Every structure is written in C-alpha cells, then in structure tokens.
Amino acid sequence: MTAEIVSVGTELLLGQIVDTHAAHMARILAGCGISCTRRATIGDNMDRLVATLKESLSRADVLITIGGLGPTVDDITRDAIAIALDDELEEVPEVADRLRKFFATRNIRMADSNLRQAQKPKCGRQIDNPNGTAPGLLCEKDGKVVIALPGPRGEFDPMATGYVRQYLEHLQGGQVIHSRVLRIAGMGESSVEELIRHLMDAENPTVAPYAQPAEVHLRVTARAATREDADLLIDPVVEQIRSILGNHLYGFNDTTLEAATIELLKKAGETVAVAESMSGGSLSARLTSVAGSSQVFLGGAVVYTVATKVALLGIPEELIREFGPVSEEVAKAMAVAIREKLGATYGVAVTGNAGPTADIDNKPVGLAYIGLATPEGVSVDQAKYRGIREDIQRRSTQTALNLLRNEILR
C-alpha cells in the first residue's frame, strides 16, 4: 500500500514556516507499514491543488492533505478534494449548529465563511476536532482513501496520532515498517559503505547509509507483522554490521556520541576533564548537554590565548613560545595539566586552527591536535579537517570524544 502527502499553504512555499507536520505524518505512515512514495507542497491556488490531488490519486492508495481546512477564503483544501474526487460538498447540520453555538457562547459575530467548516464531500465523513473549529475529513471512494488534516499544530498532532493512525493501522491490516539507526564514528561514509555493501542488496531488512555532521548513520529497516517481528529481522543484520565495524559502531537511534561516552565513563566509574582551545567550549558543551553528566564530567578550561593557557593550566610559557599553541607538545601539556588539576581519570585537550584565517600561529586552517592523558601516559592525534569554522570545531570534538571512547573500551 502506498501513500502520498500533500501540504497546502502559501506560507510553506515562501519558506516562512518549516513543514514539520509532513515529516510527522511520514513517520506515522512508516510506522503503519504504509510506503510514503512522494510528498508535495502546494500554495493556496485551486487549479494547482486540484491537479496535484488528481495526480496523487492516480498513483497512490492513500492521499493525506495537511492544512487549508480553516474558515477563510484561502482555505481551499475541502473544495479541492471534492473536485478531485468528482464529488460535491454538503453541509453537516449538526456541525453547523455547533459552530453557531461556539460563536454565540463567546459573544462573537460569526463570519458566514465559518460555515464552510461544516461542509464535507458527500462520499466522505468528518473527523472530530476537539481542539479547533475545523473538522478533518475522511473520504473512501473507488478504492482510494483521502484524509484531510487541519494545519494548526494543536489540532493536527492529536488528530494524526489519534484517530488517523488507528484508521491507517486498521487499513493496512497489521504490517509495520520498523527501523533501527546505527551510529558510526571515526569512519567516512564511503569507507563504511565499502565494508557493508554486500548487506545493502538485501530487501528485508534494507540497509542504507547516510552522512551526518562528522559521523555516519546506517539505517536498517524491516517489514513485518509487528514491531517485535521486525526487530527479530533487524537483530542479526546489526550483529553482522557490528562484527565488521567493531567499536566504530557507538550507538543506536537517538544516542549521541557524547551520551555514549558519558555512559561508558559511568559504567567504568571513571571521570574526565577537558582543556579546549580551538573547540572553544563546545566539547564541554556537548558533554554537559547529557543529563546526569555531572557524575563523570568534572569540568574544563577554555584556554583561548597564550596567557590563559598559563594562568588557568600552568603550562610553561616557554613551551608555548617554542612550539606554538597549535602543536603536539602543547596538546600534550594541556591534557596532562587539566587531568592533574581536576584529579580526573582522563584529560582531553583540543588545540588547532578553526579559521577562517591562518593567523593563529601560522598553522593552516583545519589543522588540529587532540591530546589524551590517561593514568598510563599521554598521546596525541593529529588531524586536518575541512569545512567552515563550525564544521572544523564540530569535527575536532567528534575526534576527541571518539579517542576518549576508544581508550575506555581498550
């Protein structure tokens, strides 16, 4: 069974609002095992909307519209659906009465256009909207289903996750599509793909890579009668991928690299402190974004100048003058100093040049040294990142977290 989603509203075509409803509806369809094959966005223009609805109905089994059900003349979805289904609108007397009462009890004169909300295509029925004046619509005709949902979030969300999800689950008769996202650090997208390409030809579950900022995600998706059955199909594929990628696979679904690292520290009963130059506090910020991080993250120093490296960390000024702030030696000294100063198991240090110019220390933009001090000693990784300042900072914290993670797992 396939579905298409049509979002209606000129404000969407102008980019004034982002279409989060369509993404939400897409997740609901996926969860019901219905394949969403296409989405479209149309402005408040009757000809274009009718044409788009007809095209969608010629292809898909289920058509879902979002928006354009309100009382104003701009709200054309109801009329467009009736035309696309070759049907007519009729008024539902009880709904018209309810609207009249709604305005009367609030002592507001009702604009006549409000009564349009009491209309429905003759072949369809209305979906109750306890959170607004515009009911939804559900039409079944010639083997096709059309569902119209209102645009305001407080009306859309409950109707979509409530009645409509149940209806769709029933319609589909039980099959679900269920995904698990595998999160991978320390490898590029093409390297990951090369190693697991033989798994990408399978049809159930499917395996697909996608690049995320400074990491790679693999989505494993199965079709089955229930979510539990889908998990049984997904589990062995995940195990295969794990045996290929090893520790590069750091977590699942919404687990971030910082959350995975904090979790490992908690389990090991160990702590970390950080000293940041290039990353400017963003490594600390990532660690402290995790609720409960205060158990294992002791704190850090953001040492953005030579004088600050001396004042906060006690790094000898001569060392910095001799090798430059962007150097292996200074990265080591920073990691060791913060580890000792705060009494942490691990000290992590980031120094480098995030750009946009090569003015710091005359080192090229993107060059970075990541230091890691442990109870056994101190090591440094050199890296060369591409991208804008934000990317370079992000990648440096990704390397730092991943080095720490691998050290804990060692």
Site for a second copy in 30-89 (CB under 8 A): 30, 36-45, 48, 52, 55, 70-74
Q: Distance between CA 221 and CA 177 in Å, rounded?
A: 7
Closest approach of a second copy to the CB of residue 122, in Å: 26
From candidates 198, 289, 322, 409, binder to a second copy by CB under 8 A: 289
From candidates 61, 328, 391, 406, binder to a second copy by CB under 8 A: 391
* Type and span of the H or E element at 100: helix 93-105
What are the two backbone dihedrals, phi and then psi, of residue 198, each rounded to the nearest 5 degrees?
A: -60, -20
Our CB check for a second copy shows the closer of 126 and 279 to be 279
**Alpha carbon separation from 3 to 172, 204, 328, 339 (Å, rounded):** 11, 20, 56, 56
Our CB check for a second copy shows the closer of 273 and 335 to be 273
What the block records as the tokens of 219 is: 């989505």
Q: Which of residues 185-214 bind a second copy (CB under 8 A)?
A: 188-191, 193-194, 200, 208-211, 213
Our CB check for a second copy shows the closer of 146 and 337 to be 337
Other CB atoms within 10 A of residue 391 CB: 16
x/- string (CB under 8 A) for a second copy, residues 346-385? ---------xx---x-----------------------x-
> Do residues 311 and 361 lie in contact, with contact meaning Cβ atoms separated by under 8 Å?
no
Closest approach of a second copy to the CB of residue 212, in Å: 8
What are the two backbone dihedrals, phi and then psi, of residue 273, each rounded to the nearest 5 degrees?
A: -135, 150
Q: Is 324 in the site for a second copy (CB under 8 A)?
A: no
Q: Which of residues 126-165 bind a second copy (CB under 8 A)?
A: 131-132, 152-154, 158
Amino acid letter for position 22: A
Q: Distance between CA 208 and CA 201 in Å, rounded?
A: 10
Closest approach of a second copy to the CB of residue 161, in Å: 12
Stretch of 83-91, 165-173, 224-232, 292-300 lying at the interface with a second copy (CB under 8 A)? 292-300
From candidates 135, 136, 251, 280, binder to a second copy by CB under 8 A: 280
Our CB check for a second copy shows the closer of 77 and 124 to be 77
> Do residues 271 and 298 lie in contact, with contact meaning Cβ atoms separated by under 8 Å?
yes
The partner residues of 374 in beta bridges, in order of sequence, read: 377
Residue 368: closest CA among 336, 388, 397:
397
